[in-house]
Amino acid sequence: MSQDSNKYKKYFYEKKLVWEEINQKERQAVLDFGEDYKKFIDLSKTERNSVKEIVKRAQEQGFVPIDSVNSIEKGMKVYTINKDKAVALFVIGEDELESGLNIVGSHIDAPRIDLKQCPLYEDSGLSLLKTHYYGGIKKYQWVTMPLALYGVIIKENGEKIEVSIGDNEDDPVFFITDILPHLAKDQYKKNLSEAIAGEDLNVIIGSLPYDDKEAKDKFKLNVLRLLNDKYGITEEDFLTAELEIVPAGKCRDVGIDRGLIAGYGHDDRVCAYTSLQAVLETKNNKKTAVGLFVDKEEIGSVGNTGMNSEFFNNAVSELLYLEKGKFSGLELRRTLANSSVLSSDVAAAFDPTYPSVLEKLNSPYIGNGVTLVKFTGSGGKSGANDANAEYIGKLRKLFNENNIIWQTGELGKVDQGGGGTIAYILAKFNMDVVDLGVPVLSMHAPYEIVSKADVYMTYKAYKAFYDYYI
Ligand code: MN
Ligand code: MN
């Protein structure tokens, strides 16, 4: 930089590159953190598995179920699970609950392909499964790749069978086929969103006939027999199952310098992991710290395990009762309204291969740190939470004082599309809310990409929020 430009530097804002701002010791911490994160997402391929992994790590740090305690006091660590698909962790602070909570809320569902209730059929020497995709996927990305099957089957007697096939080294995997290029003349004429139809996402589950030439539907029968041997189920049990198809295999380092991670479900398990690690380490916090992990964000935060459920308010009500030995609705409302939230969700990173959909000045960049998104929405900010400048101003001070490399971001160019997070749902209780999370490349693809540097800075930002934000 020339003498002249240095002289005027104070007038300008410049983004910072995490790798250039950290010392050797912190660089090692970034890499180590990435290794543990990889372990976490490999074990958390569904919302149910994410809850298991979150609760396991919480229990190891001394968290106990809310309904196992008779009162709460400063420093106590409690959790509550919602139907095995959502969970909230609380580290009770010095101040009483009514002064507000510091909440970091992420979602643990990810785009995938669900089995229909009557999935199994045979055709032309194959056994296949009918599916209905979940969340915003580009359907053409999910064909001709190894897939795993996860979920639960509830038998008539109430027994819950857990299914997990495809991620152990010696497991078979599943596949969705595509048309060979030689015969794709008509397919090539279709636009990308129609080239692979939703009803064509049929998953191959078998190809051997049942060992009885006289048997009817012998390919389907053979699959049913194998499932019966392994799980004791019959075809009717699919009717009361929740089975999910996800990419098979582990996440991987990307690049010769290993700075990035490609993995399934960074959106939003990378924010779940970073907020989990932050809340597990929080102590001596003034405000009660909350790690909130919810389901169904990818389909609109609906249902009893999505953010729109009263689960979270009920949990806070229970805590208020444990604190005071009585409950008042007014107290709950004050607690919520005095709370502050980091809606922890991923942001769309600038992709140099597709600059036309992103605006250079306002896109978040890979390696430039945790990303604060003031507003999401689409077409004139419609549906956005659009955080208050006063709140963002306080976070700016917090982050700068704690050496957190952060940037701002937006969800693509104006009028190019858009999206949302759980932010607006918590804002409805009059909390201060802003989106803050990890920038991602290829969002919603079977394998998404994040930078280890951004993952670490996101953790640091959540940690500072829990420890110091008032
Ligand atoms: Mn998300
Ligand atoms: Mn998403």
Q: Is residue 423 pLDDT above 80, yes or no?
A: yes
Q: 421 CA distance to ligand 2 centroid (A)?
A: 8
Which ligand neighbours the alpha carbon of 445 most closely? 2
Show contacts of 58-61: CB within 8 Å, 24+ apart. 58/89, 58/276, 58/280, 61/280
Mean pLDDT of 58-80: 98
Ligand minimally distant from the alpha carbon of residue 448 = 2
Cα(199) to ligand 1 centroid in Å equals 25
- Ligand 2 centroid – CA 248 distance (Å): 19
Rounded (10°) CA dihedral 106, 109, 112, 117: -160
- How many whole angstroms from 69 Cα to the centroid of ligand 1? 33
Average pLDDT value for residue range 225-249: 97
Q: Rounded to 5 degrees, what are φ and ψ at 323?
A: -75, -40
Closest ligand to C-alpha of residue 299 is 2
H-helix segments, 262-385: 266-281, 311-324, 329-337
- Distance between Cα 180 and ligand 2 center (Å): 30
Question: Ligand 2 centroid vs 412 CA: distance in angstroms?
Answer: 14
E strand segments, 351-446: 370-373, 377-378, 406-408, 418-419, 432-437, 439-440
Burial per residue of 58-67, b for 16 or more beta-carbon CB atoms within 10 angstroms, e otherwise: beeeebeebe
Distance from residue 111's CA to the centre of ligand 2 (Å): 7
Give me the residue label for tokens 């009918």: 130
At 6, is the pLDDT very low, low, confident or very high (cuts 50, 70, 90)? Answer: confident
The whole-number average pLDDT for the span 395-424 is: 94
Task: Render pLDDT for 299-358 as a digit per residue (tens, 0 to 9).
Answer: 999 999 999 999 999 999 999 999 999 999 999 999 999 999 999 999 999 999 999 999
Please report the pLDDT score of residue 1 as a whole number: 53
Does residue 5 register a pLDDT over 70?
no
Cite the residue boundaries of each domain of the chain with CATH code 3.40.630.10.
3-110+264-468
- Dist. CA 363 → ligand 1 center (Å): 17
DSSP-assigned beta bridge partners for residue 448: 263
Q: How far is the CA of 156 from the centre of ligand 2 (A)?
A: 34
Give residue 125 CA to ligand 2 midpoint distance, Å.
37
How far apart are the CA of 377 and the centre of ligand 2, in A?
13
* Residue 339 and residue 431 in contact, taking contact as beta carbons nearer than 8 Å: yes
Find out whether 436 and 461 touch, Cβ atoms under 8 Å.
Answer: yes
Full strand arrangement of the beta sheet holding 86-91: 64-65, 77-82, 86-91, 288-294, 101-107, 340-343, 432-437, 370-373, 406-408
Q: What confidence tens digit (pLDDT) does each residue in 178-227 have? A: 999 999 999 999 999 999 999 999 999 999 999 999 999 999 999 999 99
User: What is the Å distance from ligand 1's center to 309 Cα?
Assistant: 18
Task: Give the number of whichever ligand sits closest to the CA of residue 108.
Answer: 1
What is the rounded CA–CA span in Å between residue 383 and residue 407? 23
Q: 295, 85 in Cβ contact below 8 A?
A: yes
d(CA 299, ligand 2 centre) in Å: 9
Question: Where does 153-300 have alpha helices with state H?
Answer: 185-189, 192-195, 218-231, 266-281
What separation in Å is there between the alpha carbon of 89 and the centre of ligand 1?
20
How far does the centroid of ligand 2 lie from the alpha carbon of residue 263, in Å?
14
Contact criterion met (CB below 8 Å) for 248 and 173: yes
pLDDT of residue 418: 87
Give the pairing of strands 432-437 and 418-419.
unpaired
Give CA angle at 196 (190, 198), nearest 5°. Answer: 125
Of the pLDDT bands very low, low, confident and very high (cuts 50, 70, 90), residue 4 is low
Tell how far the Cα of 345 is from the centroid of ligand 1, in angstroms: 5
Distance CA 370, CA 354 (A): 21
Residue 28 Cα to ligand 2 middle (Å): 30
**How much is the pTM?**
0.97
- For residues 106 and 87, what is the distance between their CA atoms, to the nearest angstrom? 10
Q: Which CATH number fits domain 112-247: 1.10.760.10, 3.30.1360.40, 2.30.250.10, 2.60.40.10?
A: 2.30.250.10
Q: How far is the CA of 296 from the centre of ligand 1 (A)?
A: 10
Taking residues 112-119, what's their average pLDDT? 98
**How far is ligand 1, taken at its centre, from the CA of residue 186, in Å?**
35
Closest ligand by atom to 347 CA: 1
For domain 3-110+264-468, give the CATH superfamily: Zn peptidases (3.40.630.10)
What's the rounded Cα separation, in Å, for the pair 48 and 39?
A: 16
Please give the distance, rounded to the nearest whole angstrom, from the Cα atom of residue 324 to the centre of ligand 1: 36
Backbone angles phi, psi at 211, to 5 degrees: -80, 60
Place of tokens 């693809």: 445
Please give the distance, rounded to the nearest whole angstrom, from the Cα atom of residue 29 to the centre of ligand 2.
28
Distance 175 CA to ligand 2 centre (A): 23
Amino acid at 402: N
Closest CA to 133 of 67, 201, 185: 201
Task: Round to whole Å and give the CA distance between 440 and 451.
Answer: 8
CA of 138 from ligand 2 middle (Å) equals 12
The set of residues, in sequence order, having a beta carbon less than 8 Å from that of 359 and lying 6+ positions away, is 410, 412, 413, 414
